[in-house]
Amino acid sequence: MQKVLMILCIVALLMSSYVYAADKAMAPSHGIAYPTGWQNWATIAVSHRTDNSTLSVIIGNDVAVNAARSGNTNPWPDGAVIGKVVWNDTQLSNWKAATAPGKFVHAEFMFKDAKKYIESYGWGWARWIGLEQQQPFEKGMNVCISCHTPVKKRDWVFTEPVSLPK
Amino acid sequence: MQKVLMILCIVALLMSSYVYAADKAMAPSHGIAYPTGWQNWATIAVSHRTDNSTLSVIIGNDVAVNAARSGNTNPWPDGAVIGKVVWNDTQLSNWKAATAPGKFVHAEFMFKDAKKYIESYGWGWARWIGLEQQQPFEKGMNVCISCHTPVKKRDWVFTEPVSLPK
């Protein structure tokens, strides 16, 4: 019986440390939970910024992708989550005239909820940095908002969703 | 009874014309069936070609995405389908230093099946052009293959899959 209890204790300890590791990886940014599974979200647009030499893919959850593809983006519907995944520029090894994604920079997200985020213009703004272990950005939503001010009349979103055949 | 038959005939006619339209939209390219649903496939990479001023997202079906993210790409496994969706460059309206996707050009695909496509180096090569009604490219797989020859030692694939946090 003692042995069984000891084994159970070890299992419990191992599980709690595993949960801790997972929690740490998924720590919230600005109080917003990490949007698991975004790596498989569909494309809303791509972008190449020549001012900071980065390439991005702009992705969305189902609500955001449906809104983007039906032109329902001003305002975006509650529940929409838009993600921008950013890499530093590099050149493709075998096609020098192609700029391709190099080092991963960060993944940043806008979470639409007009009521919940009324004080940050209807959006929750969050970012996670780093490839091996995603770390939350915690310098405040105003860092995001100030940069997005030029598009406040587009519901604060720069991205123009791509044209896609149906 | 005659009325019922007439209504059934009309419904059948409407359905057949609908199927015809769908078939037409989905006409095969180089004998390869249109890969429905690719608009929601996950990202493998992005690319900005300065030689022809196009932006692309490189996407894949589940087999291809799993292979890309586990480094299982030389050779890619049978069943992998890689897509490249291409747009002409434009500038983002509200961030002039960002190149963004403009007019849709085409969506092109590589279908891996080492045995089935043994004569075209293990891949079926296909392309569909046009936004409103996707039309198949039918000028022969050699058009694709000749351009991909520099990467024949990379299983004919230019794309270097992006780094993503897990």
Distances in Å between the Cα of A74 and the Cα atoms of A71, A151, A159 are: 8, 11, 12
Q: What is the pLDDT of residues A54-79, one digit of tens each?
A: 999 999 999 999 999 999 999 999 99
Per the rule left: phi > 0, alpha: psi between -120 and 50, beta: everything else, B71 is left
Q: Answer whether A37 touches B (CB < 8 Å).
A: no
Q: What is the pLDDT of residues B105-160, one digit of tens each?
A: 999 999 999 999 999 999 999 999 999 989 999 999 999 999 999 999 999 999 99
Q: What is the pLDDT of residues B3-62, one digit of tens each?
A: 666 665 555 545 544 444 444 558 999 999 999 999 999 999 999 999 999 999 999 999
Residue A50 has φ and ψ, to the nearest 5°, of -85, -10
Q: CB distance B92–A162 less than 8 Å?
A: no
Q: CB distance A94–B154 less than 8 Å?
A: yes
- Chain A positions touching B165 (Cβ under 8 A) are 39, 104, 107, 128, 130-134
* pLDDT above 90 as % of chain A: 83
- Chain B positions touching A101 (Cβ under 8 A) are 45-46, 162-163
Local structure of residue A2 (DSSP, 8 states): H
**Number of Cβ pairs < 8 A linking chain A and chain B:** 143
Whole-number pLDDT of residue A43: 98
Kindly report the average pLDDT of chain B as a whole number.
Answer: 90
Nearest CA in chain A to B165: A131
d(CA A104, CA A84): 12
DSSP character string of B3-26: HHHHHHHHHHHHHHHHHHHHHHHT
- Chain A positions touching B57 (Cβ under 8 A) are 43, 46, 57
Residue A116 has φ and ψ, to the nearest 5°, of -60, -40
Q: Which residue has the higher pLDDT, A23 or A121?
A: A121
Whole-number pLDDT of residue A158: 98
Q: CB distance B165–A57 less than 8 Å?
A: no
- ipTM of this complex prediction, to 2 decimal places: 0.85
Q: CB distance A43–B57 less than 8 Å?
A: yes
Q: Please tell me the pTM assigned to this model.
A: 0.86
Q: What is the pLDDT of residues A106-119, one digit of tens each?
A: 999 999 999 999 99
Q: Answer whether B149 touches A (CB < 8 Å).
A: no
- Chain A positions touching B69 (Cβ under 8 A) are 39
- Chain A positions touching B101 (Cβ under 8 A) are 45-46, 162-163
**What is the nearest CA distance from B117 to chain A, expressed in angstroms?**
24
Residues 6+ apart with CB under 8 A from A48: A54, A55, A56, A89, A99, B48, B55, B98, B99, B100
Half-sphere exposure of A77 (CA within 13 A, CB side): 14
Q: CB distance B128–A42 less than 8 Å?
A: no
What length is written for chain A?
166
Whole-number pLDDT of residue B18: 45
Whole-number pLDDT of residue B91: 96
Token readout for A57 is 């893919």
Of A48, A97, A104, the CB nearest to B51: A97
Q: CB distance A163–B104 less than 8 Å?
A: yes
> Region B65-93: what's the mean pLDDT?
97
> Region B68-94: what's the mean pLDDT?
97
**Does A19 score more than 90 pLDDT?**
no
Longest Cα–Cα distance of chain B, Å, equals 69
Q: Answer whether B100 touches A (CB < 8 Å).
A: yes
Whole-number pLDDT of residue B6: 60
**Does A21 score more than 80 pLDDT?**
no
- CA torsion sign, A75 to A77 to A78 to A81? negative
Q: What is the pLDDT of residues A124-137, one digit of tens each?
A: 999 999 999 899 99
Of B130, B151, B165, the CB nearest to A134: B165
